[in-house]
Structure 1
Amino acid sequence: MKANKYKRLTLKERVVIETLLQENKTKSYIAKRLNRSRSTITREVNKWGGDYNATLANWSAKDDYLNKRNKDKINTYNRLKIFVYRGLLSGWSPEQISGRIKLKYPNDPVMSISYEAIYMHIYAHRQARLNRKLIALLPYQKSQRRRANAKSKRGVKIKDQTSIDDRPKHIENREEIGHWEGDLVIGKGQQSAIGTLVERKARYTFIVKLKSRKSATVRKGFAKEFNQIAPLFTKSLTYDNGMEMAEHKQFTNHTSMPVYFAHPYSSWERGTNENTNGLIRRFFPKGTDFSKVTEKELKIVQEKLNNRPRKVLGYRTPKEVFYSEIVNHKIKNMMLM
């Protein structure tokens, strides 16, 4: 009797595995349902430590098959690969993944990787189906990538910066309202942009219509938004190193908000803002010409984001958390009178 040649599990089979696991079916039941050996199903499920994701497992299996002779660190260590791929599926950038893994596994040499190594893994075979899918998960998809240290200089460094290293430590714990993160979302051909401002505790978002990316335009647009709300909510702003914030001193004079600058290529230090920009991209995908998007359209999206329940907020909305701080502040002041 001729032995059947082993065939690798398909994505369809893996979807069945995930579905049946969610229904608490046994591995024996799943094996019988798929006409597979129990050992095949057991190996497949145990590899993921009880938290099985069909899409992730299928990508990983294809990658393992294609990279048996040329494994980088992500392909060598499966639990590292799972962490990186899950981060990408969650909309995290390589910088955020690298920063987060350092916080979660500070003393584990396997669970340690630079954001540049993640990019190198993604772009190693950029025409392959898996790599095209990984590139599509990046916040800013490009068919090619240059190394960060190969980039040309961006001109003069912003003067008189205050580093995020000097930002008061209590801001990090998100217990106090009024500390913001800011950035630009760039439009088609680098010719247009919108400003995004996100409050760290409440995740409340402002989307700012900008006529240009000039520092004076950005400074005035941001200051206008902040000057419409109470000083309780305008305590600090953390920004990246974009030259659009070159007039940070004038911004501070107009708003009383100190500006702290994140380290270069460390967008995970403004993770709330980066995640919010990803949400905004669902409404305004790459290639959008923001000069043709009206302020009314931006505010409609802003309202949707601020009324979106967030798991991190206990499924309250940013608007609910933001305005509850106003109520609590008023009550506290009344008690002190």
Structure 2
Amino acid sequence: MFEIRKTRTVAQGRRKLTRERQEYFRLVQQGVSYTEAARLVGINLRTGKRWRNGRNPSGRQKAAPPARPVLPPSGASRYLREADRIYIADRLLEKATVRAIAAELGRSPSTVSREIRRNRHPVNGQYRPFAAQARADDRRPRPKPRKISQDPELRAAVQAGLDERWSPEQICHALRRQFPDRPEMHVVHETVYQALYVQGRGALRRELAGALRTGRARRKPHRQANCRQPRFTDPMVMISDRPAEADDRAVPGHWEGDLIIGKNSGSAIGTLVERSTRYVMLLYLPMDHTAASVRDALTETALRLPPHLKRSLTWDQGSEMAAHHTFTIATDIPVYFCDPASPWQRGSNENTNGLLRQYFPKGTDLSVHSREHLDAVAAQLNGRPRKTLGWETPAERLHKLLAV
């Protein structure tokens, strides 16, 4: 319940009437008259008027903008309505900025700027809301007559460019250079594409679509994310289906794998990291890193592991794992794939790859390293104390697990 303060002093500063101001506008919005609202709040009638209408700067006193209620967005419609245009016109008379008007309407500043530019008076430049609404209504009906189909000269110029096997973008820039002072001869390349693909057969000769470099007579839509072709012939099992025991690293035998690539993608080394112990194994790929080569190297390495260390393998969606199904059949190790652009889902492997770059720098030929050298590098990494293992080495941690 609002109560009028009995004492008011200058020492209270600028915030002395904050509560009164809020209560005053709340009463006005409920339909209370200005006089009655001022009496209930305990302010002078002229103070309420100054709050509503603002004030001009005088002396040390700064200007105050008028208090206006913020209009809600125009519902689900993406078009401005007549009430929005009336509001824009009123605020323009008050010298409000476009960004301020847009914020009050809940619109983008470009929406308000474009509305003013399109629908103001063509001669004096004044923005009249009802005339602007009429112009917008006249412009809205669909379908609209196409610019190319209405102008025979423009249509002939575009067809001549297509006969020369120019792209639509080249045609549009050539028209602007050839007719710099004739806006009716200027089009954008999308207009040409629309004339070829969308509108009826009469705008441009249909066979001219063959002059496009794609050679397509129909526009090819871009695939959505949920409509993409499968990555591999055999379906992938995603990391979300991986056993929960692999996530907490309590049970050994869950591996993460990847390739480190050499100069010009001509050579590679495969890396395997055990999630629980951080034990590293390197795959020798002397010839190439195709799907068959990676599968054979993985199979050879996995068959040397004891059964309780062959629980799962997590890899990214690289093409080198196209033969993952045959690898699983040969080793009985299920393969789980990370989500696209999610290297953090193989964090141990990514960290190990960074450590390996000390031995195999980027931009070098990795095929020069022998199998013995790879084994020596892996042994050195496995003998390095790791903070995440309580300063034990991966080899020590693995030995303890094997002993148990």
**How do 1:251-270 residues align onto structure 2 when only pairs under 5 Å count?**
251-270=327-346
**1:312 counterpart = 2:382:** no
**1:162 counterpart = 2:207:** no
What is the CA distance between 1:157 and its match in structure 2? 4.1
Distance change >3 Å, CA 174–CA 155, structure 1 → 2 = closer
Flag structure 2 segments of 5+ consecutive residues without an equivalent.
Answer: 1-223
What is the CA distance between 1:159 and its match in structure 2? 3.1
Amino acid at match of 1:162: V
Q: State how far apart, in whole Å, the 1-side matches of 2:374 and 2:320 are.
A: 20
What is the CA distance between 1:229 and its match in structure 2? 1.5
CA offsets, 1:42-80, max 9 Å, x none?
Answer: xxxxxxxxxxxxxxxxxxxxxxxxxxxxxxxxxxxxxxx
Aligned position for 2:252: 177
Distance change >3 Å, CA 273–CA 154, structure 1 → 2 = farther
Aligned position for 1:33: none
Distance change >3 Å, CA 172–CA 156, structure 1 → 2 = closer
Amino acid at match of 1:325: L
What is the CA distance between 1:154 and its match in structure 2? 11
Flag structure 1 segments of 5+ consecutive residues without an equivalent.
Answer: 1-148, 329-337
Q: State how far apart, in whole Å, the 2-side matches of 1:283 and 1:158 are.
A: 35
Aligned position for 2:321: 245
Compare relative contact order (CA 8 Å, sep 6+) and give the higher one, 1 or 2: 1
Aligned position for 1:202: 277
**How do 1:97-108 residues align onto structure 2 when only pairs under 5 Å count?**
none
Q: State how far apart, in whole Å, the 2-side matches of 1:219 and 1:183 are.
A: 12
CA offsets, 1:83-119, max 9 Å, x none?
Answer: xxxxxxxxxxxxxxxxxxxxxxxxxxxxxxxxxxxxx
What is the CA distance between 1:233 and its match in structure 2? 0.7
Larger Rg: 2
Q: Does the 8 Å CA contact 1:215/1:245 hold for their aligned counterparts?
A: yes
Q: State how far apart, in whole Å, the 1-side matches of 2:347 and 2:261 are.
A: 17
CA offsets, 1:271-298, max 9 Å, x none?
Answer: 0000000000011110121111111111
Amino acid at match of 1:242: G
Q: State how far apart, in whole Å, the 1-side matches of 2:383 and 2:366 are.
A: 23
Q: Does the 8 Å CA contact 1:181/1:273 hold for their aligned counterparts?
A: yes
Counterpart among 268, 285, 302 of residue 378 in structure 2: 302
**How do 1:66-81 residues align onto structure 2 when only pairs under 5 Å count?**
none
Aligned-residue sequence identity (percent) comes to 45
Aligned position for 1:193: 268
Aligned position for 2:114: none
CA offsets, 1:142-194, max 9 Å, x none?
Answer: xxxxxxx9xxx999545310000111122100000100000000001100000
Amino acid at match of 1:267: P
How many residues matched?
177
Amino acid at match of 1:241: Q
Q: State how far apart, in whole Å, the 2-side matches of 1:271 and 1:154 are.
A: 27
Q: State how far apart, in whole Å, the 1-side matches of 2:268 and 2:229 are.
A: 18
**How do 1:46-61 residues align onto structure 2 when only pairs under 5 Å count?**
none
Distance change >3 Å, CA 193–CA 158, structure 1 → 2 = farther
**How do 1:74-89 residues align onto structure 2 when only pairs under 5 Å count?**
none
Q: Does the 8 Å CA contact 2:277/2:389 hold for their aligned counterparts?
A: yes
Q: State how far apart, in whole Å, the 2-side matches of 1:316 and 1:235 are.
A: 23
Distance change >3 Å, CA 300–CA 194, structure 1 → 2 = same
Distance change >3 Å, CA 188–CA 154, structure 1 → 2 = farther
Q: Does the 8 Å CA contact 1:238/1:259 hold for their aligned counterparts?
A: yes
SS, match of residue 398 in structure 2: helix
Q: TM-score by structure 1 length?
A: 0.51
Q: State how far apart, in whole Å, the 2-side matches of 1:259 and 1:207 are.
A: 18
Amino acid at match of 2:387: K
Q: Does the 8 Å CA contact 1:158/1:241 hold for their aligned counterparts?
A: no
CA offsets, 1:2-43, max 9 Å, x none?
Answer: xxxxxxxxxxxxxxxxxxxxxxxxxxxxxxxxxxxxxxxxxx
Q: State how far apart, in whole Å, the 1-side matches of 2:234 and 2:365 are.
A: 31
What is the CA distance between 1:323 and its match in structure 2? 1.2
Q: State how far apart, in whole Å, the 1-side matches of 2:374 and 2:318 are.
A: 22
Aligned position for 1:327: 403
Aligned position for 2:303: 227
What is the CA distance between 1:253 and its match in structure 2? 0.8
Q: Does the 8 Å CA contact 1:158/1:243 hold for their aligned counterparts?
A: no
Q: State how far apart, in whole Å, the 1-side matches of 2:263 and 2:312 are.
A: 30
Question: What's the Cα RMSD here?
Answer: 1.8
Q: Does the 8 Å CA contact 2:234/2:325 hold for their aligned counterparts?
A: no
